Amino acid sequence: MSTPSKRLAGRWRNVDNNGELYFSPIESELGIGTYRIGNRGRGSFGQPIRIRILRENLSGTELFYKVYKSIGIKKLEVALGKDLTQSDTRCCVSTDGSTMTLEYTWGGSQYFSVYRFIDNELFEEQSFTGQSAGPAPLLPDPVSNPIGYWVILASKGDVNAMHQLGNIYEQREDKSSAKRWYGRAAKQGHRISQEAMSRLRE
């Protein structure tokens, strides 16, 4: 029987930003598994994040799972002084296994994402680029790799992270990239980013 949790395993690509998720097969008796976060073309993944299936409609498309905080998220909470607990995730996997939606609350904001199934290759066998994936930190170091750090937060919808990316690119005199990130933050009502967009248009 093809249940939602069985159809969850594999690689999925976000239809909006090309971000990718890899879900391991769910252990049937305990209902536990992991997922990793990556970005298309970058050939890197975060460390596995543990999940546990709470309940699912075995003959339908819906399931709910709990996400357990990684060490990286706990360290980030300390650094930001912010609770980054993720709510239980509502996940729907189409009966043909081609489409998945995720709905949850993280860091005080609500998210709804749509993913398309890519394939069911094992993460351990190869990365997105076909090279050995190996372990990678969930979040890059914000000092040595500020762009990588803020991009991951921005992909979660953090408008301040979008502004930070715009500021970094502006300082590097990359006007096109600066306008792209300022623009995303400005569309969500970020006042300082709106002012920055006006300045860059001059």
Of 70, 103, 119, which marks where a domain is finished? 119
Domain extent for 97: 4-119
Asked whether residue 85 is domain-assigned, the answer is yes
Asked whether residue 87 is domain-assigned, the answer is yes
Q: How many CB atoms lie within 10 A of CB 48?
A: 17
Residues 11 and 97 in one domain: yes
Residues 107 and 152 in one domain: no
pTM of the predicted model as reported, rounded to 2 decimal places: 0.56
Residues 93 and 14 in one domain: yes
Residues 13 and 109 in one domain: yes
Residues 18 and 66 in one domain: yes
CA-to-CA distance for 107 and 119, rounded, in angstroms?
Answer: 30
Of 84, 119, 154, which marks where a domain is finished? 119
Residues 164 and 112 in one domain: no
Amino acid at 95: T
**Number of domains within the chain:** 2
CA-nearest of 5, 12, 60 to 33 is: 5
Asked whether residue 129 is domain-assigned, the answer is no
Residues 96 and 14 in one domain: yes
pLDDT per residue as tens, the chain (202 positions): 689 998 998 889 898 877 888 888 888 778 998 888 875 555 566 778 899 999 999 999 999 999 988 777 777 778 878 777 889 999 999 998 899 999 999 877 889 999 999 875 444 333 333 333 343 445 666 666 788 778 878 877 888 888 988 988 898 888 888 998 999 999 989 999 999 999 888 7
CA-nearest of 3, 19, 26 to 94 is: 3
